[in-house]
Amino acid sequence: MKLVIAIIHERDKLDICDALTEEGYQYTVIASTGGFLKDGKSTLLIGVDESKVDDVISTIKKTASTREQIVTQPPMDFMAGMGIMSPIKVQVGGAVIFVVNVEKFEHA
Protein backbone atom coordinates (compact mmCIF):
# COMPACT_ATOMS: atom_id res chain seq x y z
CA MET A 1 0.00 0.00 0.00
CA LYS A 2 1.07 3.60 -0.69
CA LEU A 3 0.13 6.91 0.83
CA VAL A 4 -0.25 9.72 -1.68
CA ILE A 5 0.23 13.10 0.01
CA ALA A 6 -1.01 15.90 -2.21
CA ILE A 7 -0.69 19.58 -1.34
CA ILE A 8 -3.26 21.54 -3.33
CA HIS A 9 -4.59 25.08 -3.39
CA GLU A 10 -7.69 25.71 -1.30
CA ARG A 11 -9.54 26.92 -4.42
CA ASP A 12 -9.04 23.54 -6.14
CA LYS A 13 -10.13 21.50 -3.12
CA LEU A 14 -13.80 20.94 -3.98
CA ASP A 15 -13.14 19.95 -7.61
CA ILE A 16 -10.31 17.57 -6.70
CA CYS A 17 -12.23 16.01 -3.82
CA ASP A 18 -15.29 15.52 -6.06
CA ALA A 19 -13.13 13.87 -8.74
CA LEU A 20 -11.47 11.55 -6.20
CA THR A 21 -14.83 10.63 -4.69
CA GLU A 22 -16.27 9.91 -8.13
CA GLU A 23 -13.34 7.57 -8.80
CA GLY A 24 -14.08 5.78 -5.53
CA TYR A 25 -10.99 6.83 -3.56
CA GLN A 26 -10.97 7.41 0.18
CA TYR A 27 -8.98 10.31 1.55
CA THR A 28 -8.54 12.74 4.41
CA VAL A 29 -8.31 16.50 3.98
CA ILE A 30 -6.04 18.48 6.28
CA ALA A 31 -6.28 22.28 6.28
CA SER A 32 -2.78 23.62 5.67
CA THR A 33 -0.84 26.79 5.00
CA GLY A 34 1.85 27.28 2.37
CA GLY A 35 5.17 28.12 3.96
CA PHE A 36 6.11 30.74 1.36
CA LEU A 37 2.85 32.46 0.39
CA LYS A 38 1.20 31.65 3.73
CA ASP A 39 -2.11 31.14 1.94
CA GLY A 40 -4.77 28.45 2.15
CA LYS A 41 -3.78 24.97 1.09
CA SER A 42 -5.29 21.56 1.66
CA THR A 43 -3.21 18.46 2.20
CA LEU A 44 -4.89 15.28 0.99
CA LEU A 45 -3.91 11.91 2.46
CA ILE A 46 -4.95 9.18 0.06
CA GLY A 47 -4.22 5.57 0.97
CA VAL A 48 -4.28 3.32 -2.10
CA ASP A 49 -2.99 0.10 -3.54
CA GLU A 50 0.28 0.59 -5.43
CA SER A 51 -1.47 -0.18 -8.73
CA LYS A 52 -3.75 2.86 -8.24
CA VAL A 53 -1.08 5.48 -7.54
CA ASP A 54 -0.72 6.68 -11.15
CA ASP A 55 -4.49 6.91 -11.53
CA VAL A 56 -4.79 9.01 -8.36
CA ILE A 57 -2.04 11.34 -9.57
CA SER A 58 -3.62 11.77 -12.99
CA THR A 59 -7.03 12.45 -11.41
CA ILE A 60 -5.46 15.21 -9.30
CA LYS A 61 -3.46 16.64 -12.23
CA LYS A 62 -6.57 16.75 -14.44
CA THR A 63 -8.39 18.85 -11.86
CA ALA A 64 -5.67 21.05 -10.33
CA SER A 65 -5.17 24.16 -12.41
CA THR A 66 -1.87 26.02 -12.46
CA ARG A 67 -1.83 29.81 -12.63
CA GLU A 68 0.56 32.63 -11.98
CA GLN A 69 0.16 35.06 -9.14
CA ILE A 70 1.92 38.35 -8.57
CA VAL A 71 3.00 38.70 -4.96
CA THR A 72 3.15 42.40 -4.26
CA GLN A 73 4.12 42.08 -0.63
CA PRO A 74 6.43 39.09 -0.38
CA PRO A 75 6.80 37.60 3.06
CA MET A 76 9.27 39.63 5.09
CA ASP A 77 11.52 36.70 5.92
CA PHE A 78 11.98 36.00 2.22
CA MET A 79 12.91 39.62 1.51
CA ALA A 80 15.06 40.14 4.60
CA GLY A 81 18.40 41.62 3.68
CA MET A 82 17.51 42.17 0.02
CA GLY A 83 16.59 45.83 0.44
CA ILE A 84 13.84 45.78 -2.23
CA MET A 85 10.09 45.25 -2.24
CA SER A 86 9.37 44.69 -5.93
CA PRO A 87 6.50 42.36 -6.91
CA ILE A 88 7.46 38.84 -7.89
CA LYS A 89 5.63 36.29 -10.02
CA VAL A 90 5.06 32.83 -8.54
CA GLN A 91 3.23 29.84 -9.90
CA VAL A 92 0.29 28.73 -7.73
CA GLY A 93 -2.22 25.94 -8.01
CA GLY A 94 -1.34 22.60 -9.48
CA ALA A 95 -0.33 20.03 -6.92
CA VAL A 96 2.78 19.03 -5.03
CA ILE A 97 2.63 15.26 -4.61
CA PHE A 98 4.63 12.86 -2.47
CA VAL A 99 4.18 9.08 -2.57
CA VAL A 100 5.38 7.12 0.45
CA ASN A 101 5.34 3.47 1.43
CA VAL A 102 2.84 2.37 4.05
CA GLU A 103 4.44 -0.16 6.37
CA LYS A 104 1.17 -1.29 7.89
CA PHE A 105 -2.49 -0.41 7.41
CA GLU A 106 -5.20 -1.40 9.84
CA HIS A 107 -8.82 -0.34 9.90
CA ALA A 108 -9.75 -1.11 13.50
Rounded to whole angstroms, the Cα distance separating 32 from 34 reads: 7
What's the min distance (Å) between Cβ of 26 and ligand 2BA? 22
Q: Does 17 bind ligand 2BA (CB under 6 A)?
A: no
Residues 34-93 that bind ligand 2BA (CB under 6 A): 34-37, 41, 90-92
Measured between alpha carbons, how far is residue 60 from residues 24, 30, 37 in Å? Answer: 13, 16, 21
What's the min distance (Å) between Cβ of 94 and ligand 2BA? 5
Tell the burial category of 4 from Cβ atoms under 10 Å away from its Cβ (0-12, 13-18, 19+): buried
Please state, as a whole number, how many other Cβ atoms lie within 10 Å of the Cβ of residue 8. Answer: 24
What's the min distance (Å) between Cβ of 22 and ligand 2BA? 24
Rg (the chain; Cα; Å): 16
Identify which of residues 34 and 47 has a Cβ nearer to ligand 2BA in the complex.
34
| Nearest residue to ligand 2BA on Cβ basis | 34
Which stretches of the chain bind ligand 2BA, using CB under 6 A?
7, 34-37, 41, 90-92, 94, 96
